[in-house]
Amino acid sequence: MSQLNLDLLSINTIRTLAIDAVQQANSGHPGAPMGLAPVVYELWQRHLRYDPADPHWPNRDRFVLSAGHASMLLYATLHLAGVKEAAKDGKILDSLAVSLDEIKRFRQIGSKTPGHPESHITTGVETTTGPLGQGAGNSVGMAIAGKWLGANFNKPGFEIFDFNMYAVCGDGDMMEGVASEAASLAGHLKLSNLCWIYDNNHVTLDGPANWSFNEDVMTRFLGYGWSVTHIADANDLDALGRAYEVFRHTVGRPTLIVVDSHIGYGSPHKQDTYEAHGEPLGEAEVKLVKKNYGWPEDAKFLVPDGVYDQFKNGIGKRGAEAHSAWNAKFADYKKQFPQLADQLTRMQSGQLPDGWDKNLPSFPADPKGIATRESSGKTLNALAANIPWLVGGSADLAKSNKTNLTFEGAGDFFPDAYHGRNIHFGVREHAMGAIVNGMTLSKLRAFSATFFNFSDYMRPSMRLGALMEIPAIYIFTHDSIGVGEDGPTHQPVEQLASYRAMPNMLVFRPGDANEVVEAYKIAIQHTHGPSTMVFTRQAMPTFDRTKYAAASGVAKGAYVLADAAGGKPDVILLSSGSEVGLCAAAYEKLTADGVKARVVSMPCWELFEQQDATYKESVLPASVTARISVEMESVFGWDRYTGPKGKIIGMRSFGASAPLKDLLKKFGFELENVLAAVKEVLGK
């Protein structure tokens, strides 16, 4: 069989596997895989530097399907390319990442082929996509990581990192703001290792794309500083190949390849229609499509003779050779640069360097204290000085967030100067979250920072970070109505409760500077999920730890900070963040008045919920029903801990624009109000 015929046979195998999987599941999106199969085939078979035998090879090219609804396009390609499965510990297994049986179980419970690609489920899926624009943002983070790794680890004669980043995007990605923000930053940073492939099929879920979208995308991306190429026919492998080659030789700018395609290609009645987007073709139409492809009409999940060998002799052979050459080079690199090689090995395996926790700050008792954004900045700098691959930045708020890395040699990540540790995201919170996820997926320990109120802009990215179980660190300051005069537009109220509701997310709101240090120690060692760090703008007391319990109690999520004599309280005061100091002040007054009180600091509900029943009972004994929670956030969720007989002091409205002292009085965050609540729950 000729090469041309083998190419077409392989492309049609991708198409028909997608068609059959969607039809059998009676759910899914067949149209995009049918139109894009040649685009992805040409990329994987002839250009992607990727070893199917080791999909975790550090210098592999990355492929992201931002148009995640076309998941069967990726699953079919992973299967035909023979991509091996990796165990949770990273060990490469003999089994396939996506077997034919898994394709037959598309969208079924417990399968490795969920409706949208999920990186923690399916080896070879670089990132979890589906919410449009997120994968595009991730790809920018991966490209940033590639540039940073190259700048910091490559040496003359040893180009250890030079991977490229490819992302397939659809009309939805082009319309979503997160992708636009990411594209803007990528152009500014001149990320020449980044290529987006735009599936320009003129169709959206509701109907023709021109119902809602007719902008000149190519001109927009030229304005961003991208190189732009147009392919008039998605089936033209030669033109696609030339475009990929042009990208690989383009310097100083990322590349957008606009590919005109036909959604549902080959379907007599549904090609170029929205009906091909999000529903099965139907048995009768499937037979007609297969007839158009020259395919046996009744065959299902057919992989014809020669197709597996075609991929094996293409991407399989190329990838193995490239990987082998890289391994030989890295073996020499380890001999000449053992310290750097050790860092890379630890980074790839999720380990921290020896001494990662040395010289962490310890804060002396201080009744005036400092804002936790300040203690956060000091702690973050100490950690980053010890962990060379801790990298991140802020959305144009680094001076306010206190996240600037200022130690000697930290530096800035600028266009054509990719060595620095400070990323300047600009006012792009939507993209920042997705980019940090992409950096984290590339094995950097990446962090973002902005005001807590703007976490709403980052929520989709944070949710995907939690779903992917990746150790990103999301830093937020200006955490409550304590923001003061900026007013309710900038005062977060409901955000804390909403992130506590998010599965697999550790949310820390530390009660003083030393709790901040302990929270960071936990977050930096946490490898299977992200951490959300919530810090104050205003100063708060630093507790005297010779008088109060050690801050190491943060590791259990909640702990007894101060207790009644004999450990038998009549009333329990619960809090997090800046209000722990208010509870401590109430405790001192109550103790002086002979009331047996306990203060429980609760910086991380999620960690507390992971403790055993004995520990929980020791902190919150069921026999003590007189409980008061105090937090300058939404009251939502606190009833879990205060119980039906307790009282919740918190926010039941938005805040207001005023000096902090006036806000505290207006909303009841004063000592007198807490003491009055104690009397109430004690029935006095």
Give catalytic residues, as residue numbers: 429
User: In terms of C-beta density within 10 A (0-12 exposed, 13-18 middle, 19 or more buried), how is residue 90 classed?
Assistant: exposed
Asked if residues 645 and 597 have their Cβ atoms less than 8 Å apart, the reply is no
Residue type for 490, please? H
Residue 398's CB: how many other CB atoms inside 10 A?
20
Helix (H, G, I), strand (E, B) or coil at 269: coil
Bridge partners of 474, per DSSP, are 448, 532
The token duo for 122 is 């399916």
Residue type for 605, please? W
* CA gap 69, 112 in Å, rounded: 15
Residue type for 470, please? I
* CA gap 501, 524 in Å, rounded: 22
* CA gap 434, 35 in Å, rounded: 27
* CA gap 624, 482 in Å, rounded: 31
Query: First and final CA of the chain: distance in angstroms?
Result: 92
Work out whether the CA dihedral 383, 384, 390, 391 comes out positive or negative: positive
User: In terms of C-beta density within 10 A (0-12 exposed, 13-18 middle, 19 or more buried), how is residue 156 classed?
Assistant: exposed
Gyration radius of the chain's alpha carbons: 28
Residue type for 325, please? A
Asked if residues 28 and 22 have their Cβ atoms less than 8 Å apart, the reply is yes
* CA gap 337, 539 in Å, rounded: 45
